[in-house]
A = this chain, B = another copy of it.
Amino acid sequence: MIDRTDPEGTIAAAAQRCSNWGRWGEDDVLGTLNFLTDDKRVEAARLVRTGRVFSLAQPFDANGPQRGWRRRTNPVHTMLDTGLDAERGTQGFPHGFGGADDVVFMPLQCSTQWDGLGHIFDHGQAWNGRPAGDVVTSEGDRVTGIETVGARLTGRGVLLDFGDLPDGHAITADELDECAQDQGVEVGQGDIVCVRTGQLARAKRDGWGDYAGGPAPGLSFTTVDWLHAKEIAAIATDTWGFEVRPNEFDEAFQPLHQVVIPHLGLFVGEMWDFEDLAADCAADGRHDFWLTAAPLPVSGAVGSPLNPVAVK
């Protein structure tokens, strides 16, 4: 049970219980990615049986969910050259050559993404106990920038499909376990856990509404011990903010983030699209798969858009 009136105390206690600070040395920049070893990958590759592939990314475009909160816009994609220019023959290339080029402006947290370890701080402290201001300055994250992840977010993915949870539903550790059991899958060390709440499916059907920051199903703050004990590498959901909203304290802002990112060193994925994958898993009854979830290595980024690829 959560004491709704004591976010600071509850957060502090959880941080102390579940801290991974120092677990992989004082210079560590990988956090829970340390659980995802080469051996785990060799095992996970055996999950490829049909060769079917699934992109778990939402489209990156102006029709996304962002509404400007904290200057987060949807991506703005514009063209530097087009087929119309090529047809017109004004591009200055010889012998019938024509080209199209483009640019994008986007917040790195605007759509399907990873939160990097420099994304969230607790009382001015970043992952592994570093002062936040030593880690992320105006030059970006100089210690745990998303580029440090490289190719490591590649391994076994497990889908926990909750169907269609209502906004505000706080998923508990027991529910996570039951869901896994029902689907005949076990969550193990080094896994990338994919939690489908069904909210994105609703948003696709009914419009975004308050998808970006409003009420949503998501993980209960109480799952912090589960997330710690399972020694997973990462977790991703189909919602804006991974944890349940409204949050479970009277005054709160993403308290589970405040523990799992700086204290556990956990990689958190948000706004993933599990729809096609979930349908396939439902059809063949297999809920684990090979998953490559490589962030775009923008140097010093505290998060990253990506196109996660599941293969079964």
List residues of A whose CB falls within 8 A of some B CB. Answer: 7-8, 11, 37-42, 45-46, 48-55, 57-63, 68, 70-90, 93-109, 118-124, 126, 131-141, 147, 150-152, 154, 249, 251-255, 257-258, 290, 292, 294-303, 305-311
CA of A66 to CA of B34 in the docked complex: distance in angstroms? 35
CA of A42 to CA of B47 in the docked complex: distance in angstroms? 10
A133 touches B87 (CB 8 A): yes
CA of A73 to CA of B63 in the docked complex: distance in angstroms? 12
Minimum Cβ distance to chain B for residue A153 (Å): 8
Say whether, besides A85-B84, A136-B82, A104 and B52 are in contact (CB < 8 Å). no
A122 touches B96 (CB 8 A): yes
The count of identical subunits is 4
B94 touches A251 (CB 8 A): yes
Say whether, besides A85-B137, A123-B96, A294-B55, A101 and B109 are in contact (CB < 8 Å). yes
B97 touches A108 (CB 8 A): no
Say whether, besides A42-B50, A51-B41, A68-B74, A299 and B59 are in contact (CB < 8 Å). yes
B297 touches A86 (CB 8 A): no
Say whether, besides A53-B151, A131-B87, A41 and B311 are in contact (CB < 8 Å). yes
CA of A154 to CA of B237 in the docked complex: distance in angstroms? 23
User: Nearest B residue to A141 by beta-carbon distance?
Assistant: B100
Say whether, besides A45-B290, A311-B41, A70 and B101 are in contact (CB < 8 Å). yes
Residues of B within 8 A of A297 (CB): 55, 57-60, 307
Residues of B within 8 A of A126 (CB): 83
A119 touches which of B99, B249, B292, B307 (Cβ 8 Å): B99
